[in-house]
Amino acid sequence: MISARFYSNQRIVLEHAPIPEPGQGEVLVRVAACCVCGSDLRTYHHGNPRVKEGAVLGHELSGTIVKIGAGVEKFRVDDRVAIGADIPCGSCQWCIGGNPNNCATNLAIGYQFSGGFSEYILLDKRVVSIGPIARIANGIDFAKATLAEPLACCINGYERLLPAMADFPREALSVVIFGAGPIGSMLALLAESYGLGQVVVLDPVEDRLAKLLELGIAVKGVRLDAQGDWIRQLDAVAPHPRLVFTACSTVDAQIAALRTVGPRTAINFFGGLPSTSAKLALDSNLIHYQQAFVTGSHGSTPKQFTAAMNWISQTILPIEQLITHRFPLTSIEDAFKNSLNRTGLKTLIQPNL
């Protein structure tokens, strides 16, 4: 098989290796599709302490089970499956308490475990027994199923904010999203499913806003002037948002999000920042007197991954249109460049294209 392996200095190398045989409790999947995530791009540029040289990235994937190891009862050969990222230990206080994405073990597909930028992926027995794997419903193609992982992260994002706003009617909760990329677009799509109020998405890339509006999502798109005052632009359309997401990896977006704080505003720093980013100065009095809520969300749980797959199976919203570019595995560096240039929205790699 061919796998795309990550090495330092922004280098990905296509390498041949024997197709692995599944051992006790393991499953071998022929990868059909794997999307490029923003965290893949951050690893590519800045490295990651959880990712060793020679690792295979990619954690938004789908494929077909071709072999199963002894003892596997949950799955069968020819099952079509979608696979997520975060693998909990299943036994610590966080896992038992229903918050496995706080598990200190912090294992993940495409990090410590080989990822989906490969023709085949061998799923460790821990992944098979307690990880985020879901069968793909009839009528859902492999490409659409890859979106379950980022969508699960978006569900996690809302589940961090909505309990803090439980005393408000859903339709009274206006939403502001910094970033019209794939995550920002999914957050906007989910807002409609949750029955929330006005949704405003801000982004400096006009083509992304145009694509988002083209999808028929009930949002207003606001083009941010990179040199201008984001808050002044935001005030013109959404002066007092209730829910605010930073669906991009910039300190400027986080600073702007904090400047939206009014009574009971809830902010989610959704997009992670590179470790080299400037640190944020927080006016705690602003949070104190406005009784605001500032949180973050990281990854998702297997339960949220299943919820995302159910949402994809049942919704009529056009989530599959977020995939705007497709590449074979042999053109993975072109795929990464496409994502880095913010061309389109979601970039998909199909190893067997």
Report domain extents, the chain: 2-146+318-350, 153-296
Give me the pLDDT at residue 1, please. Answer: 97
CATH of 2-146+318-350, one of 3.90.180.10, 3.20.20.370, 1.20.1440.120, 3.90.1150.10: 3.90.180.10
Burial class (CB in 10 A: 0-12, 13-18, 19+), 33: buried
pLDDT for 344 equals 81
Q: Which tokens hold the place of 337?
A: 């460049």
Q: Regarding beta strands 243-246 and 266-269, do their DSSP bridges make them parallel or antiparallel, or are they unpaired? A: parallel
Answer whether 242's CB lies under 8 Å from 265's CB.
yes
In this prediction the pTM is: 0.93
Separation CA 194–CA 159 (nearest Å): 11
Strands 133-135 and 80-83: antiparallel
**Phi and psi of 15, rounded to 5°?**
-130, 145
Q: Residues in the chain with pLDDT < 70?
A: 216-231, 237-239
Tell me whether the CATH fold assigned to 2-146+318-350 matches the one assigned to 153-296. Answer: no
Place of tokens 């599944």: 22
The pLDDT tens digits of the residues spanning 118-153 come to: 999 999 999 999 999 999 999 999 999 999 999 999
CA nearest neighbour of 48 among 114, 101, 111:
111
* CATH label, 153-296, candidates 3.40.50.720, 3.40.800.10, 3.40.50.1100, 3.30.565.10: 3.40.50.720
Distance CA 162, CA 13 (A): 43
Structure confidence at residue 249 (pLDDT): 85
Tokens of residue 164, six digits: 């803090």
Q: What is the Cα–Cα distance from 201 to 214, expressed in whole angstroms?
A: 13
Which tokens in the block code for residue 254? 């986080």
CA proximity to 1, closest of 28, 34, 23: 28
Half-sphere exposure of 12 (CA within 13 A, CB side): 23
At 253, the amino acid letter reads A
Q: Report the 10 Å Cβ neighbour count for 353.
A: 13
| Nearest CA among 58, 42, 49 for reference residue 350 | 58
According to DSSP, residue 88 is labeled -
Which contacts of 282-290 are long-range, i.e. CB under 8 A and separated by 24 or more positions?
282/258, 283/258, 286/258, 286/261, 287/261, 290/261, 290/262, 290/263, 290/264, 290/265
